[in-house]
Amino acid sequence: MTTSIARSGRYPMRWRKAHLKLMTKMKTRWTMEVSEMPRQLPLPFMNQVQPRFANFVRGPNQLAVDALRQWASTSSEWTYLYGGHGTGVTHLLLAATALAAELSGKTMYLSLREDGLTPESLAGLEQFGHIALDDIDVVAGHSDWELALFSLCNGVKDNEHAILFGAHSAPERTDWRLPDLRSRLQSAARYRLKALADEERLIALQRHLAERGLSLSDEAGRYLLRRGPRDMRHLLSVIERLDHASLVQKRPLTVPFIRDVMGWSVTAQNKENQGSLPHGADEE
């Protein structure tokens, strides 16, 4: 999920419009075809889980979590967090922004993947005490964006504010064309998020569902990990679908229920994993 969050004060109309646009999208996320309309529909937002440090499974990433907690409590820290898809970069940026908002008030989170943004959208962000810019690598190689980002970096430095960058790769492995910008990004304290092991991913799933009021057995969780997407971001989108179906049908998250909702056949699963029970065959 990409979004922009601003806390405290009055903000330019372009930020408020971007936030309103996102909320409108989220309110329609449960839209269904009339032919598929069930007797009971869950209310939007009722099971939304807010990214926080408390609901992030750290695994091998304790050092990065500690660094972002520190960033939220300091006034002029520069930090660069990166990792592969689904490792939790966005989760931690949102968690750090939320903590900074509690501690100091004036914060901003902005994903550069947000629809409708232009380089001018970065103008004035240096007024925030804590700024988290997510997905910055998507604008690498675009001279107008790089100049705007470099200008923002200068403003943040002049104001002695804190900035947190989120990306999928390290600065030297990203196609930045502006040497001064690359140098600024490389000067930040850097932390790379590592993927969770399967047992840690299982804990993350169970914790995520618990916050939604659902339970997931180890058996059902391991089945979901075997058959579902490998990265956590797409796996959590599967959870959204299962959560919705469970609430509508009033059924627990068992292996047969997950298989039915997702359309995963027993035959295909058994053929795919023939002779490898620990990683394949259904254990019902």
Q: Residue 215: inside a domain, yes or no?
A: yes
Q: Residue 268: inside a domain, yes or no?
A: yes
Alpha-carbon gap, residue 21 to 95, rounded angstroms: 22
Q: How confident is the model at residue 159 (pLDDT cuts 50, 70, 90)?
A: very high
CA dihedral 119, 124, 128, 130 (to 10 degrees): 30
pTM to 2 decimals? 0.75
Query: Are 210 and 189 members of one domain?
Result: no
Mean pLDDT value across residues 256-278 = 67
pLDDT at 241 over 70: yes
The distance from CA 142 to its chain's CA centroid, rounded to whole angstroms, is 24
The string of pLDDT tens digits covering residues 177-200 is 999 999 999 999 999 999 999 999
What's the domain count of the chain?
Answer: 2
The distance from CA 220 to its chain's CA centroid, rounded to whole angstroms, is 24
Q: Is 13 left (phi over 0), alpha (psi -120 to 50) or beta?
A: alpha
131's enclosing H/E stretch is strand 130-134
Rounded to the nearest integer, the mean pLDDT of the chain is 82
Whole-number Cα distances in Å, 71 to 62, 96, 136, 189: 14, 8, 18, 10
CATH number at residue 133: 3.40.50.300
Query: Are 57 and 179 members of one domain?
Result: yes
Alpha-carbon gap, residue 146 to 182, rounded angstroms: 9
Alpha-carbon gap, residue 41 to 244, rounded angstroms: 9
Mean pLDDT value across residues 108-117 = 96
The distance from CA 196 to its chain's CA centroid, rounded to whole angstroms, is 15
Q: List Cβ neighbours of 179 (8 Å cut-off, separation of 6 or more).
A: none
**What percentage of the chain reaches a pLDDT higher than 70?**
76
Contact call for residues 72 and 130 (beta carbons, < 8 A):
yes
Query: Are 122 and 217 members of one domain?
Result: no
Query: Are 163 and 249 members of one domain?
Result: no
pLDDT given at position 25: 39
When mean pLDDT is compared across 5-9, 89-93, 107-111, the lowest value belongs to 5-9
Of 12, 222, 24, 19, the residue nearest 121 (C-alpha) = 12
Query: Are 87 and 181 members of one domain?
Result: yes
CATH number at residue 240: 1.10.8
Q: Residue 284: inside a domain, yes or no?
A: no
Q: Which residues are registered as beta bridge partners of 162?
A: 130
Q: How confident is the model at residue 86 (pLDDT cuts 50, 70, 90)?
A: confident
Q: List Cβ neighbours of 183 (8 Å cut-off, separation of 6 or more).
A: none
Query: Are 238 and 117 members of one domain?
Result: no
Q: How confident is the model at residue 49 (pLDDT cuts 50, 70, 90)?
A: confident
pLDDT at 67 over 80: yes
Contact call for residues 239 and 208 (beta carbons, < 8 A):
yes
pLDDT given at position 172: 95
Query: Are 106 and 214 members of one domain?
Result: no
In which domain, by residue range, is 186 found?
4-193
CA atoms within 13 A on the CB side of 126: 15
Q: How confident is the model at residue 46 (pLDDT cuts 50, 70, 90)?
A: very low
Of 83, 74, 273, 43, the residue nearest 194 (C-alpha) = 83
Whole-number Cα distances in Å, 109 to 86, 100, 238: 18, 11, 25
CA dihedral 218, 219, 220, 222 (to 10 degrees): 80
